[in-house]
Amino acid sequence: MDIFSKIAAGEIPSYKCAENEQFYAFLDINPLMEGHTLVIPRREVDYIFDMNDDELAAFQLFAKRVAQAVKTACPCIKVAQVVLGLEVPHAHIHLLPLNSEDDADF
Ligand code: 5GP
């Protein structure tokens, strides 16, 4: 099981932001900025494009709702959505609360 699957299963502790049956959101352990949140599918899937259309649509909708909650919790001008996956081979979206246009230089 990869590290994010273990986090979603509660086998590795994390600071939970939101969850449902399919998806899980938690704070990044090494945040680029305050409120840096990761959104993942519970099931083990390497890349977001490995999801079928329905799962990907549900994932994006869940991430959007989490982004709205992050925006409320961390006053910011916008919440950027970034898909990387360079370090952890489990599909995830980074949600980054930005306080100025300059914050986009991460
Ligand atoms: P990426 O794979 O998109 O390059 O980055 C993976 C992200 O996962 C990094 O920002 C890293 O800090 C975060 N991360 C890696 N391991 C853990 C962990 O065990 N717990 C949490 N909360 N975040 C992690």
Active site residue 90: no
CATH value at residue 67: 3.30.428.10
Q: Which domain holds residue 92?
A: 3-104
Instruction: State what percent of residues in the chain have pLDDT above 90.
Output: 86
Ligand 1: which of 6, 29, 39, 95 to mutate, judged by most atoms within 8 Å of the beta carbon? 29
* Ligand 1 center–CA 85 separation, angstroms: 9
CA of 36: how far to CAs of 51, 67, 91, 99, in Å?
24, 10, 16, 12
pLDDT above 90: residue 101: no
Phi, psi (5° rounding) for residue 89?
A: -85, 60
pLDDT above 80: residue 104: no
The count of structural domains within the chain is 1
Task: State pLDDT tens for residues 47-64.
Answer: 999 999 999 999 999 999
Average predicted confidence (pLDDT) for the chain? 93
Strand spans (E) along 1-106: 16-19, 23-27, 37-41, 78-82, 93-98
In the predicted model, what is the mean pLDDT of residues 1-11?
97
Whether the CB-CB separation of 95 and 67 falls below 8 Å is answered with yes
pLDDT of residue 85: 85
* Ligand 1 center–CA 86 separation, angstroms: 10
